[in-house]
Amino acid sequence: MSLHPGVFVNRTLNMKRINYIGLDMDHTLIRYKTSNFEKLAHNVMLKKLVEQQGYPESVLKLKFDYSRAIRGLVIDKNKGNVIKLSRHAAIRASYHGLNRIDYKKQKTLYKSTYIDLGDSNYDPVDTSFSISFATLFAQLVDLKDHSENHTLPDYATMATDLAVVLDQAHRDGSIKDVIRNNIEDYIIKDQEIVDGLERFKKHDKKVFIATNSDYAYTKLLLDYAITPLLKEHDHWSDVFEFTITLAQKPKFFTDNTPFLKVNPDDGSMTNVTGKVEKGGIYQGGCANRLTSDLNLDADEILYIGDHIYGDILRLKKDCAWRTALVVEELREEVDQFQKAQTTTEKINHLMAEKVPIERKLDDLISDQIENDHQNHKDKIKKLTEDIQEIDKSLSPLIKEHDQFFNPYWGEVFRAGIEESYFAYQVERFACIYMASLGDLFKQNPRTYFRSHRKSMAHEV
Ligand SMILES: [Mg+2]
């Protein structure tokens, strides 16, 4: 049993040493009804493709399917494929549009099993709408392959067009306006998170927000999901040390952008001449300036976000703040992992039977080769049949195992026997990770999170 249920530790983190906790807003402090949210992005992108990029109206018929993609996939723009990678960037599953590419075909398509992620043809889907983005790309590829009229552009252009309309949707407010008008359809009110904010504050943990959202949208969500749930404070601004909007992460962690002060009454802005102050609402800024204004060591600050590239990866590379990642898929993955346990045990049991037979078979064949005789012919035949029998029982079990997870892609954190590329990034860049901020807030604010000693191949 884990010492800290719900919080998983990659690197030792002593919460007593943490004085400031920075929070990303969207999907970290504020939880979304993700399936609704991704569906909205899918709809908005489709409309913009038709209205602004001249796509045929037939694309509007594409229905959003939440299970079509998971986080951490990579798009092969030229070939129109979506790929799942292992921790070593080896291809472990691939689809052309909506159709699974079998292993043989995959081998002819990709000379090497390994993908060079530095190649600009490969697009890791780590936008804030990775599910809808990957799904829509796959659907458009499928539509292009199967439609009579050939008005859709080539695969790579479609990927670029999608990125353009998604970026526009963020900027012109077409997604945010829908949320503003139907907020209860998209935003979760989470008492556990709000209670945790007040509890951590009692321990003198100074909590601040650093979000890429603008002030108006930040205010909308905090007014809706934080203020009404507070028990010991009147307003969200009493809980947060300061609030940084339009932070432009990941640039926030690398560049030296100056802070602007936002007037909460009318949203107007002024230059900041002095230091960042308690209670202030800001726009822009950077981590360096914040650390020095507060007179802190970088490792006294813990930053918590949900976006592996924007919140965590660049931060870890360029700035010494400690990191925590919220991976909302984790809750289901852990639940399903437990439900799949019986199947996993059956698989392990059969593998334990298979391995010694394989070894015996190898020894007999070697003996025949080396001593140039045919004495083991019957035994070899029998052992080969035994292995085939075991494989016959194994294959439905492996399918059964995968059905506990995403029907197209399996587990988010695993690619077969190895970790997925996504899992590798989580492990490498996040000091701790959890399904929800509430999982961290349930822990004692003085917790010493210790990582397990990890075994290397030669140590087990
Ligand atoms: Mg976020």
Domain boundaries, the chain: 7-27+186-331, 34-181, 341-403
Cα 360 → chain centroid: 44
Cα 134 → chain centroid: 13
Instruction: Name, in order, each residue with C-beta under 8 angstroms of 219's C-beta and a sequence gap of 6 or more.
Output: 264
Of the candidates 140, 78, 144, 145, the one whose C-alpha atom is nearest the C-alpha of residue 115 is 78
How far, in Å, is the centroid of ligand 1 from the Cα of 344? Answer: 34
Of the candidates 151, 155, 147, the one whose C-alpha atom is nearest the C-alpha of residue 82 is 155
Q: What is the pLDDT of residue 149?
A: 67
Of the candidates 208, 229, 209, 283, the one whose C-alpha atom is nearest the C-alpha of residue 26 is 209
How far, in Å, is the centroid of ligand 1 from the Cα of 203? Answer: 25
User: What's the pLDDT tens digit per position in 265-297?
Assistant: 988 999 998 899 889 999 999 999 999 999 999
How far, in Å, is the centroid of ligand 1 from the Cα of 307? Answer: 6
How far, in Å, is the centroid of ligand 1 from the Cα of 25? Answer: 6
How far, in Å, is the centroid of ligand 1 from the Cα of 53? Answer: 28
Helix (H, G, I), strand (E, B) or coil at 4: coil
Helix (H) or strand (E) holding 84: strand 81-85
CATH class of 7-27+186-331: alpha beta
Q: What is the pLDDT of residue 150?
A: 72
Instruction: Name, in order, each residue with C-beta under 8 angstroms of 41's C-beta and a sequence gap of 6 or more.
Output: 129, 132, 133, 166, 169, 175
Q: What is the pLDDT of residue 313?
A: 79
How far, in Å, is the centroid of ligand 1 from the Cα of 27? Answer: 5
**Alpha carbon distance 460, 448 (integer Å):** 27
How far, in Å, is the centroid of ligand 1 from the Cα of 308? Answer: 9
Q: Ion ligand 1 — residues with CB under 5 Å?
A: 24, 26-27, 306-307
Q: What is the pLDDT of residue 17?
A: 96
How far, in Å, is the centroid of ligand 1 from the Cα of 28? Answer: 6
How far, in Å, is the centroid of ligand 1 from the Cα of 95? Answer: 28
How far, in Å, is the centroid of ligand 1 from the Cα of 243? Answer: 15
**Alpha carbon distance 456, 460 (integer Å):** 7
Q: Are 203 and 443 in contact (CB under 8 A)?
A: no
Q: How many CB atoms lie within 10 A of CB 183?
A: 15
How far, in Å, is the centroid of ligand 1 from the Cα of 257? Answer: 20
How far, in Å, is the centroid of ligand 1 from the Cα of 310? Answer: 8
The two tokens of residue 365 are 């064949």
* Spans of the chain, pLDDT less than 50: none
How far, in Å, is the centroid of ligand 1 from the Cα of 128? Answer: 7
How far, in Å, is the centroid of ligand 1 from the Cα of 425? Answer: 16
How far, in Å, is the centroid of ligand 1 from the Cα of 313? Answer: 13
Instruction: Name, in order, each residue with C-beta under 8 angstroms of 450's C-beta and a sequence gap of 6 or more.
Output: 3, 9, 12
Cis before 153? omega within 30: no
How far, in Å, is the centroid of ligand 1 from the Cα of 305? Answer: 6
How far, in Å, is the centroid of ligand 1 from the Cα of 26? Answer: 4
**Alpha carbon distance 219, 124 (integer Å):** 31
Q: How many CB atoms lie within 10 A of CB 454?
A: 8
CB burial of 134-173 (b: ≥16 within 10 Å; e: otherwise) equals bbbbbbbbbbbeeeeeeebbebbebbebbbebbeebbeee
How far, in Å, is the centroid of ligand 1 from the Cα of 71? Answer: 14
How far, in Å, is the centroid of ligand 1 from the Cα of 367? Answer: 61
How far, in Å, is the centroid of ligand 1 from the Cα of 339? Answer: 29
How far, in Å, is the centroid of ligand 1 from the Cα of 264? Answer: 22
